[in-house]
Structure 1
Amino acid sequence: MNILVTGGAGFIGRWVVGRLLKDGQSVWVVDNLANSSLDNLKEYEDSEHLQKVQIMDLKDREALKELFREVSFDLCYHLAASINVQDSIDDPETTFNNDTLATFYLLEECRKQQVKMVFMSTCMVYARAVDEQGIDEQSPIKPASPYAGAKIAAENMVLSYFYAYDLPVVVVRPFNTYGPYQKTGGEGGVVAIFIHSKLKGEPLNIYGDGTQSRDLLYVGDCADFVVEAGYSDKLHGEIVNAGTGEDITVNQLAELIADGQAPIQHVPHIHPQSEIQKLLCNYNKAEKQLSWTPKVTTQEGIRRTEQWILETFHRKEPNQS
């Protein structure tokens, strides 16, 4: 198939691209490099199946139209987005434009050619899990940040194109994804930030009291889930979660990563109003409809991530943040 991946030079995007190339698909990548790097795709630059990597902002409607005139796509994985919750509170307009408006522009091009879209949403749209059954696709949503609000708005636009135009779409909501190639600075995830701090001999800073919990999904498992959602025709017009079905408090995660080798300290939360106290995924739908289950344990995923960060940053550039 001819497949477009937006945000394909980003953290999850480069893993999705890798899986598609492994499957022998013809892949086009677009990315504005605002929160990503072409270095993430170096591993694939010699692949005969990687057709083009184009630096482009999806809000450039003329460039987007030109791309769809040049290529007849079969499938679009839409991963490009502003992803930082804190930034969305400080600058909601940028997040709305990148996450909602750009999605609308892309939907219009997909509609014209009937190109299936897999839309990458987030677990941050949910309210907290209330029990150990976890959060399923019917659980209440709560846009506690402009990021979550922009994603919900985009989700609804995506689903409306299924009902109004019979466009095949799927909304995917992965839980807290981590792993190699995730940023280790402010826009990175808690796992990468904690590991980086430990390897630099710095304290692991926990926002708030650390009792908030997360369902940590290894990025390779996440990419497999996203790709399979595109391959399947069972979930058109639907929303589907992915996670591990297990949560861990931030305090427990810090202790696991620090392993007695770095101090742990609590710091004031920047935007406590956006915090979700308990995130625990119920992925029964993905298991039933896609035969997908997570394969990498938290301990193994952290080990792989730490090894990558060690090799990428600390052996070559000890002072890189």
Structure 2
Amino acid sequence: MNILLTGGAGFIGRWVAKQLLEDGHRVWILDDLSNGQTSNLDELRHYEGFMNFTEGTILDRGLLSDWFKTHQFDICYHLGASINVQDSIDDPETTFYNDTIGTFYLLEECRKHQTKMVFMSTCMVYDRCSDEKGITELHPAKPASPYAGAKVAAENMVLSYYYAYGLPVVIVRPFNTYGPFQKTGGEGGVVAIFIKNKLAGKKLSIYGDGKQTRDLLYVSDCARFVVKAGYSDQVNGEIVNAGLGRDISINDLAMLIMQDETKIEHVEHIHPQSEIAKLLCNYDKASNLLGWEPEVTLEEGIKKTEDWISKHYL
């Protein structure tokens, strides 16, 4: 198939690109490099299906129109977005334009060309989890940051194109994804930041009391899920979660990575109003409709990530 991948030079995007190329598709990647970097794609360029990488924005309607006309995409995997919660609180306008307006521009092209859209949303749209069965797709939403709000707005537009125009779409909500190629600085995920600090001989800093929990999904499992959602008509018009199905407190995660209590400290939270106290994924729907299950345990994933960071950052 001919596939457009937005945000393909980013952390998860790079893994989605790899999966699509391994499956034999022709892939065009669009990324404005605000989060991604071209070096993420270096080892993918030898694939026969790696058609093009362009540095550009989904807000460029002329570019989108030209690409859709020229390449006749079968699927658009839309991962391009502003993803930093604190940035969205400091500058909500940029996040709204990138995540909501940009999605609308892409939807218009998908509608004109009958291109399926896989829309990458986030578990951050959910309210806290209250039981051990985990968060299903029917769980209440609580957009506690402009990032989550922009994603909810975009989700509603995506679903409206399914109901109004019969456009094949699916919304995917992966839980906290981690692994190789994730940034280890302020915009990175907690696992990458903790591992980098450990390897650098620094203390691990935990925001707040550290009792907040996360459901951590290894990136290759996430990419497999996202790609499968594009292949299947079973999930058209649906919202689908993916996670490990196990949550861990940030305190326990820090101990798992550091193995030394004296090197862990608690600091004041930078955005307590947007913190979700408990995130635990129920992925029954992905299992039933896509036959998807996570394959990498948390312990295996942390080891793989630590091996990668030690090779690339030390």
Deviation at 1:261, TM superposition (A): 8.7
SS of aligned partner of 2:296:
coil
Distance 2:115 2:261 in 1: 50
Q: Which amino acid aligns with 2:70?
A: E
Aligned to 1:257: 257
Aligned pairs for 1:199-278 within 5 A: 199-260=199-260, 263-278=263-278
Contact 2:208–2:266 (8 Å) recurs in 1: yes
Aligned to 2:94: 94
Aligned pairs for 1:1-321 within 5 A: 1-260=1-260, 263-314=263-314
Distance 1:244 1:11 in 2: 18
Deviation at 1:6, TM superposition (A): 0.3
Flag as ranges the 4+ runs of structure 1 deviating above 3 A: none
* Larger displacement relative to structure 2 (65-74 or 224-233): 65-74
Distance 1:65 1:4 in 2: 12
SS of aligned partner of 1:309:
helix
Q: Which amino acid aligns with 1:201?
A: G
SS of aligned partner of 1:220:
helix
Distance 1:235 1:34 in 2: 30
Contact 1:198–1:262 (8 Å) recurs in 2: no
**Where does the alignment leave 5 or more consecutive residues of structure 2 unmatched?**
none
Deviation at 1:260, TM superposition (A): 2.3
Distance 1:184 1:306 in 2: 11
Distance 2:233 2:63 in 1: 29
Percent identity of paired positions between Structure 1 and Structure 2? 66
Distance 1:167 1:203 in 2: 50
How many residue pairs get aligned? The number is 314
Contact 1:111–1:167 (8 Å) recurs in 2: yes
Deviation string for 1:211-264 (max 9, x for gaps)?
000000000000000000000000111100000110000000000101229711
Distance 1:174 1:287 in 2: 13
Distance 2:262 2:80 in 1: 35
Contact 1:6–1:30 (8 Å) recurs in 2: yes
SS of aligned partner of 2:39:
helix
SS of aligned partner of 1:296:
coil
Contact 1:172–1:241 (8 Å) recurs in 2: yes
* Larger displacement relative to structure 2 (292-301 or 258-267): 258-267
Contact 2:208–2:269 (8 Å) recurs in 1: yes
Q: Which amino acid aligns with 2:181?
A: Y
Contact 2:4–2:29 (8 Å) recurs in 1: yes
